[in-house]
Amino acid sequence: MALDPKAEAALALHRFGLGPRAGSIAAIASDPRGALLAEINSPDAARINDTALLTSADAARTALKFQQERRAQRQADRAARAAANQQPDMKAGDAPPSMQPNAGPPLPQRLYLDEAKARIHAALAAQIGFAERLAWFWSNHFCVSADKGGVRPICGAYEREAIRPHILGRFHDMLLAVESHPAMLIYLDNARSIGPNSLAGMRQKRGLNENLAREILELHTLGVRTVYKQEDVTSFAKVVTGWTVAPPRQDPAHAGEFQFNPRMHEPGVHTVIAKSYAEDGVQQGRAVLAMLARHPATAKHIATKLACHFVADEPPPALIARLSKRFLDTEGSLNEMAKALVAAPEAWDSARPKLKRPGEWIISAMRAGAVVPPDIGPVMQAHNLLGEPLWRPSAPKGFADESAPWLDGLSQRLDIANALARRMGGDADPRELFEQTLGPLASTQTREAITRAESRPQALALLFMSPEFQRR
Amino acid sequence: MTVHVPTRRELLLASGALFAWAYVPKLAHAEGRDPRFLVIVLRGALDGLAAVAPVGDPDWHVLRGDKALTVTGTPAALPLDSLFALNPAMPNLHRLYQAGAAMIVHASATPYRERSHFDGQDVLESGLAAPGTAETGWLNRALVSLQPAGRAGGGRDAFAIGPIAPLVVRGPAPVLAWTPRRLPPAGEDTLQRLLDLYRHTDPALARALEERVGLATIARAGGMDGEQPRPAPGAAQVRAYFAESAGTAAKFLARPDGPRIGALAFDGWDTHADEGVANGRLANLLGALDGAIAAIETEMKDAWRETVVAVITEFGRTARINGTEGTDHGTATVAFLAGGALKGGRVVADWPGLKAANLHEGRDLKPTTDLRAVLKGALKDHLRVDEAALAAKVFPDSARAKPMAGLLRQA
């Protein structure tokens, strides 16, 4: 069904972006498609330029120093307690702990929250949010988890370093950046994977870990049950042995940085998907990644995921075929993929089957209400409550993109909508907000429910919970 | 998938009760008094006839039929005088009324004569004669007028932390936002409206929400362990929230160094369907309000003697019951006043009657008392707000609504 220009503008904002702010719909109504393309063609698209944020290597070193100091402190405390126990008059608990009273969360968590804050503010500030949505999509495609030891202080930097610079560049470059980033190497255990016949492997009992190789094939590139077999996984795992993180003790100046360690690398020629790769140090792994980045199975996998994210849980096969061809024709240009999505008529269907993911919904509600929280605590809690804790997926597959799993959180969304609406209080006129953020897309029933609400907060809660606001 | 489920406390984005600090009624102090004033706004439009029933009006039963509260019904309305009786859900207010520490103003209304909640609440809280772009509330402006010119409060102003004050307290005088421990109940009413919307527009969301809510209700009610049925979980939550918010407000107001003036807002009064005057939803809400007033009395301790609580709502509801056992937006309604400073024990009303010809536009209780007169009377005699300021700044264009005299024991 064809939509009028204002409705198309509203759809562009909800489907491709992070939802309208006051004035957004009018601002892009003359040419919604052009506005989407303009946003992704801006040179700063999806960059977070916050000089206060640390690089992942600096963050890792700072966190390491913090852990060492804390360990030393604990040992000192234990010694003090032991000494106190020698004195008959004192009980074990009497020795005063020498730790300072805790000033806020520990350092890794602080780094994590600083990054989260920068990300939330970038999302609130975006004009449309298409580039941001692409960054979120790719960050989830190549997810890491802050809950894995060592990842928390660097997961935000990972997104800024390995994902954001490439979301409108080439898939191959992003793949290379991601798979050689310390966050990914730690998350999927490759940092500790050792070739059995490497120098290190022959000396100690630890050996190969297939985790990264498997997830690259299954999740990051070709897709599950495609052209690879178990031998390919094992072989590829051997290829990427030695892709690790510089160890703090041996190499303190470079601790936390990517390092290719030849002593851990499994020597020899390895065959991955019917092609053999000569021994070539770190280049051997890069060659396999280059092959994977232009494989037709990868093209189809990426095309399907993008279409699933922006269009429908089960996207039209013709759309997948077109996107897939575009990927192969342009050597994996993600800019061209984004343009192809915007150009696809299927992406402008007025039916809106997809439910916004929690983070997307929370941000779109805050954008609608012009809420910029001084403290991101409640925003993070809302993500947690709705099952999408930031940078903390429960598995390498990332958060689900289909609608069904997120329906479970609907009543929690109501709690959050209520809380947000109360926070906004009587400041906002719900009728105006409705027109600014939903108007041309809304049903008569939704319009009536909002205008007939018993209070402004109730009207706002109903607005945020309305089907048209919940759906992409 | 594992989901981290934080407590409701962690979720708080909102705060509930607001106080203007550092603005103390100095003139009243000079008289040796230390008055407290708390405004409770009921959002959604309270059915005044169901709260304080005109049982002595022969047309009452004609209007409401078997939904009409009576002093002989079950449960029986609590007699106030020869004309009026109180909803049976409010025994505490009844006790206070009998002790002279509560009164009711009936058939009262703001100057607003349309029927939009948002606009009606604007007029109620802004104190302006018409809806518009109000940014300050009458209570805040009343506080400003208590201060000598050029003085902007003391060190406690720093407590002002921004958010969501109800409009009635917003304005130039600094405001302290206080966050209640308990999250306001999500609101059965909001949930019902949402379910209704989903059922008409999005069956998948309707199904999902119905399932989740159903599960939550079972979980909250204790489920299948064969216990006695309890009151609807929603009602218990509302009761607890009202009592805790109001009780905490009173604790602040009672402190020697605390604020003297504050405001709360309670939602949920928009009873279009299944109003439940005697046993259902409205009875639960009125019971919760009654509990809140009792909590204020308890927590105020000795300061109760110097307290006035004003309970107000944006407008009333239709005099007749509608087709869904509820009432639609109307005009005149009641205001409750409670507190030890009052000369209570009476219903103030220029009763318009309930004959069809006497109803406003043939459908609503006719307003005969300007609510602003009541509020101006309380501000003037209790807080000693200057009468000229009341007419010019606090309630502009209200010259004809003279401050109601004699509301307090000592004026």
Give the pLDDT confidence of A266-290 residue by residue, as tens digits.
Answer: 999 999 999 999 999 999 999 999 9
**pLDDT of residue B180 exceeding 60:** no
* C-alpha span between B353 and B332 (Å, rounded): 12
* A40 Cβ neighbours under 8 A, 6+ residues apart: A130, A131, A134, A168, A335, A338, A339
| Rounded percentage of chain A residues whose pLDDT exceeds 70 | 95
Query: Highest-confidence range of B150-164, B175-189, B201-215, B350-364, by mean pLDDT?
Result: B350-364
- Which residue range is the domain that position B279 belongs to? 16-394
**Residue B411, pLDDT score:** 58
Cβ neighbours, 10 Å, residue B62: 13
Is pLDDT above 70 for B24?
no
What pairing do the DSSP bridges indicate for beta strands B36-43 and B307-313?
parallel
Question: Rounded to an integer, what distance in angstroms lies between the CA atom of residue B106 and that of residue B111?
Answer: 15
Between B119 and B76, name the one with better pLDDT.
B76
**From CA A425, how far away is CA A455, in angstroms rounded?**
9
* A87 has a chain B CB within 8 A of its CB: no
Report pLDDT for B183.
55
Between the alpha carbon of residue A30 and those of residues A33, A40, B387, the distances in Å are 9, 18, 55
Residue B201 contacts A where some CB pair is shorter than 8 Å: yes
> With 0-12 CB in 10 A as exposed, 13-18 as middle and 19+ as buried, what is A94?
exposed
In a domain, B407, yes or no: no
Residues B90 and B289: beta-carbon distance below 8 Å: yes
Question: What's the number of domains chain B is made of?
Answer: 1
B280 within some domain? yes
DSSP string, A253-320: GGTTSEEE-GGGSPPS-EEETTEEE---THHHHHHHHHHHHT-HHHHHHHHHHHHHHHT-SS--HHHH
Average pLDDT score over chain B: 83
| pLDDT value of residue B12 | 27
d(CA A54, CA B318): 63
The residue among B267, B247, B368, B370 whose CA lies nearest residue B309 is B247
How does pLDDT run across A223-270, given as a tens digit for each residue?
988 999 999 999 999 999 999 999 988 888 999 999 999 999 999 999
In chain A, residues with a C-beta closer than 8 Å to the C-beta of B45 are 454
Residue B11 lies in a domain: no
Is residue A434 within 8 Å of A447, Cβ to Cβ? yes
Kind and range of the H or E run holding A417:
helix A410-424
Going along B193-332, which residue ranges are E strands?
A: 261-267, 307-313
Distance from CA of A400 to the nearest CA of B (A): 10
Beta bridge pairs of residue B36: B307
Model confidence band, residue B8 (pLDDT cutoffs 50, 70, 90): very low
Q: How confident is the model at residue B17 (pLDDT cuts 50, 70, 90)?
A: very low
Per-residue pLDDT tens for A376-417?
998 999 999 898 999 999 889 999 999 888 987 888 899 899
Please give the residue of chain A at the shortest CA–CA distance from B163: A423
pLDDT above 80 for B278: yes
Residue B14 has pLDDT above 50, yes or no: no
Chain A hits for B41, Cβ within 8 Å: none
Among the listed residues A394, A311, A398, A388, the one whose alpha carbon sits nearest the alpha carbon of residue A357: A388
| pLDDT given for residue B176 in this prediction | 67
Question: Does the beta carbon of A418 lie under 8 angstroms from any beta carbon of chain B?
Answer: yes
Q: What is the mean pLDDT of chain A?
A: 92
Please tell me the least confidently modeled range out of A25-34, A122-131, B230-239.
B230-239
Question: Looking at residues A79-89, what average pLDDT do you find?
Answer: 77
Residues forming beta bridges with residue B317, ordered by sequence position:
B329
Between the alpha carbon of residue A379 and those of residues A193, A365, A390, A452, B333, the distances in Å are: 37, 11, 10, 28, 40
Which residues, at least 6 apart from A407, have a Cβ–Cβ distance to it below 8 Å? A355, B204, B205, B208
* Interface check B133 vs A, CB under 8 A: no
Using a CB-CB distance cutoff of 8 angstroms, which residues of chain B are in contact with residue A408?
Answer: 208, 212
Interval B267-282 mean pLDDT:
89
- Please tell me whether residue A195 adopts helix, strand or coil conformation: coil
Write the CB contacts of B296 (distance below 8 Å, at least 6 apart in sequence).
B38, B246, B247, B249, B250, B304, B307, B309, B338
| Residue predicted with more confidence, B226 or B142 | B142
Confidence of residue A461 (pLDDT cuts 50, 70, 90): very high
Q: Residues 442-471, chain A: which have Cβ within 8 Å of B?
A: 443, 445-446, 449, 451-459, 461-462, 465-467, 470
Residue A334 has pLDDT above 80, yes or no: yes
Pairing of strands A270-272, A275-277: antiparallel
B330 inside domain: yes
Strands (E), B21-132: 36-43, 52-53, 78-79, 85-86, 102-109
**Could you tell me the pLDDT band of residue B173, with boundaries at 50, 70 and 90?**
confident
Shortest distance, CA B195 to any CA of chain A (angstroms) = 10
The more confident residue out of A20 and B170 is A20
Among candidate residues A112, A145, A135, the one with its CA nearest the CA of residue A396: A145
* B284 close to A (CB below 8 A): no
Q: Can you state the angle between helices A377-385 and A358-368, rounded to 10 degrees?
A: 140
Q: What is the pLDDT of residue B408?
A: 96
Cα separation, A59 vs A186, in Å, equals 14
**What pLDDT is attached to residue B265?**
82
State the pLDDT at residue B132.
79
Work out the average pLDDT over A311-333. Answer: 97
* Whether B212 and A411 lie within 8 Å, measured CB to CB: yes
Q: Which helix (H) or strand (E) holds A245?
A: strand A243-245
- Is B84 within 8 Å of B53 (Cβ atoms)? yes
Nearest Cα of chain A lies from the Cα of B410 at a distance, in angstroms, of 36
More confident site: B8 or A121: A121
Instruction: Report CB contact under 8 Å: A414, B190.
Output: yes
pLDDT at residue B158 tops 60: no
CA distance linking residue B353 with residue B59, whole number of Å = 8
Question: How do residues B40-62 score in pLDDT, each as one tens digit?
Answer: 999 899 999 999 999 999 999 99
For B300-313, write each residue's pLDDT tens digit: 999 999 999 999 99
Rounded CA gap, B109 and B308, in Å? 19
Handedness of CA B187, B193, B196, B201 (dihedral sign): negative
What residue in B sits closest to A390 (Cα-Cα)? B4
Structure tokens at B93: 């207010």
pLDDT at B148 over 90: no
Give, as one character, the DSSP assignment of residue B105.
E
Give the count of Cβ contacts less than 8 A between chain A and B: 135
**Is the pLDDT assigned to residue A94 strictly greater than 60?**
no
Lowest mean pLDDT among A83-97, A302-316, A444-458: A83-97
Contact residues, chain A, for B266 at CB < 8 Å: none
Of residues A206, A146, A134, A208, the one with CA closest to residue A174:
A134
B184 interface with A at CB cutoff 8 Å: yes
As a whole number, mean pLDDT of residues A324-350 equals 97
pTM for the full predicted model: 0.78
Instruction: State yes or no: cis peptide before B75, omega within 30 of 0.
Output: yes
State whether residue B58 is helix, strand or coil.
coil
First vs last C-alpha separation in chain B: 66
Residue B142 falls within a domain, yes or no? yes
Residues A270 and A198: beta-carbon distance below 8 Å: no
Contact of B346 with B64, CB cutoff 8 Å: no
Residue A25, φ and ψ in degrees, nearest 5: -65, -50
pLDDT of A137 higher than 60: yes
Mean predicted confidence (pLDDT) in B241-256 = 85
- Residue B261 CB partners (closer than 8 Å, separation 6+): B19, B20, B23, B36, B37, B38, B139, B143, B253, B383
B43 to chain A, any CB pair closer than 8 A? The answer is: yes
